[in-house]
Chains A and B, each alone.
Chain A
Amino acid sequence: NAGVIQTPRHKVTGKGQEATLWCEPISGHSAVFWYRQTIVQGLEFLTYFRNQAPIDDSGMPKERFSAQMPNQSHSTLKIQSTQPQDSAVYLCASSLDQGLGTSAETLYFGSGTRLTVL
Chain B
Amino acid sequence: GEQVEQLPSILRVQEGSSASINCTYENSASNYFPWYKQEPGENPKLIIDIRSNMERKQTQGLIVLLDKKAKRFSLHITDTQPGDSAMYFCAAMPNYNVLYFGSGTKLTVEP
Interface residues of A (CB under 8 A from B): 31, 33, 35, 40-45, 48, 50, 55-56, 58-59, 91, 95, 97, 99-101, 104-107, 109-112
Which listed segment binds A: B11-19, B43-51, B57-65, B69-77? B43-51
Instruction: Return 24 A-B CB contacts under 8 Å, by A number.
Output: A40-B103, A42-B89, A42-B101, A42-B102, A43-B101, A43-B104, A44-B101, A45-B1, A45-B98, A45-B101, A48-B98, A50-B97, A56-B96, A91-B43, A95-B97, A99-B97, A100-B31, A100-B32, A100-B97, A105-B99, A106-B49, A107-B36, A107-B44, A109-B45
Other CB < 8 Å A-B pairs besides A50-B97, A100-B51, 17 of them? A35-B101, A42-B103, A45-B99, A45-B100, A45-B101, A48-B96, A48-B97, A48-B98, A55-B96, A56-B96, A91-B44, A100-B93, A101-B51, A105-B97, A107-B46, A107-B99, A109-B44
B91 partner residues in chain A, CB cutoff 8 A: 43
Interface string of B13-50 (1 = CB under 8 A from A): 00000000000000000011010100000111110010
Are B99 and A41 in touch, CB under 8 angstroms? no
What is the bound-complex CA distance between A107 and B89, given in angstroms?
13
Are B43 and A41 in touch, CB under 8 angstroms? no
Interface residues of B (CB under 8 A from A): 1, 6, 31-32, 34, 36, 42-46, 49, 51, 89, 91, 93, 96-104
- The residue that A106 contacts in the complex, of B46, B51, B100, B101, with Cβ under 8 A, is B46
- The residue that A41 contacts in the complex, of B32, B49, B103, with Cβ under 8 A, is B103
A31 partner residues in chain B, CB cutoff 8 A: 97
Q: Which of A43, A50, A59, A95 has the most CB of B within 10 A?
A: A43
- The residue that A43 contacts in the complex, of B32, B42, B89, with Cβ under 8 A, is B89
Which residue from chain B places its CB closest to the CB of A103 in the assembled complex?
B49
Nearest-neighbour CB distance to chain A for B21, whole angstroms, equals 13
Nearest-neighbour CB distance to chain B for A80, whole angstroms, equals 24
Which residue from chain B places its CB closest to the CB of A41 in the assembled complex?
B103
Nearest-neighbour CB distance to chain B for A5, whole angstroms, equals 11
The 4 closest A-B pairs by CB, nearest first: A42-B103, A43-B101, A109-B43, A42-B104
